[in-house]
Amino acid sequence: MGKGKLAKFADMAKNPLVVECPFWKLRDEGFAMRGKWNEQFFHNGNPIVLELGCGRGEYTMGLAKRFPDINFIGVDIKGSRMWHGAKEALESNMDNVGFLRTNIECIDSFFGDNEVNEIWLTFSDPQMKKTTKRLTSTFFMERYRKFLVDNGVVNVKTDSNFLITYTKYMAEKNGLPVEFVTEDLYNCESADDALTSIQTYYEGMWLERGIPIKYIKFRLPHDGALIEPDIEIPVDGYRSYNHEVVSTRTTGK
């Protein structure tokens, strides 16, 4: 591991806005702040919003600056990336933002019933080969239900045709109320300004390449069994893990 990463991890360990809970501790002791984030971390009663897979924390920070009366928590396992947002939040003396370093697969272990009002999924890996790793799958929706308020909001912002198509099918199959959807956010006149005024690094990169940004907003009721859609969706023609466009001719991008 490089010295740069080691220094960032040391900074993270000292940053009061960062919460880290090793898996062994979660397994053996649980998470003491579960259900008590407002009481013990934010010290207010404001709504809590999560960004899952926050990367550098650009969207978490952008939302927190724009909505000071809402508490935002960026969640990711990549500490060296999260360091950027956590450092900026600390230096800016922000009191409505925090960061949680953990695997999203165990996210329901960190938040109690009805503790979270809204979820953001910004440019998540579409996980085209394995449904249970896809953050908009019913596998994860069941986890979100455990801490999201009834009819809580889920926002998905993505460059991936695969992920937006899958997510629309998933919402339709389960009767989840869709409040807004677009295949080209930056050319949609009815889009809220907050959706386009905050950009991540990769979002800017996709826009420079002429790849349209997709967005869907839906609600997740507590009641009703969730059914995984049985559909075949054409895969994206680029590699999501290294962000290389393979062929504009075959992808149409």
Structure tokens at 134: 């896809």
Task: Name the one residue in this structure whose structure tokens are 């198509």.
Answer: 165
Residues 6+ apart with CB under 8 A from 29: none
Strands of the chain, DSSP E: 18-20, 48-52, 71-76, 97-101, 116-122, 148-158, 178-182, 214-220, 238-239, 244-245
Annotated active-site residue 125? The verdict is yes
Within 56-185, residue ranges assigned H as helices are 58-66, 79-91, 138-145, 161-173
Are the C-beta atoms of 82 and 55 separated by less than 8 Å? yes
Catalytic residue from among 11, 95, 108, 125: 125
The set of catalytic residues is 125
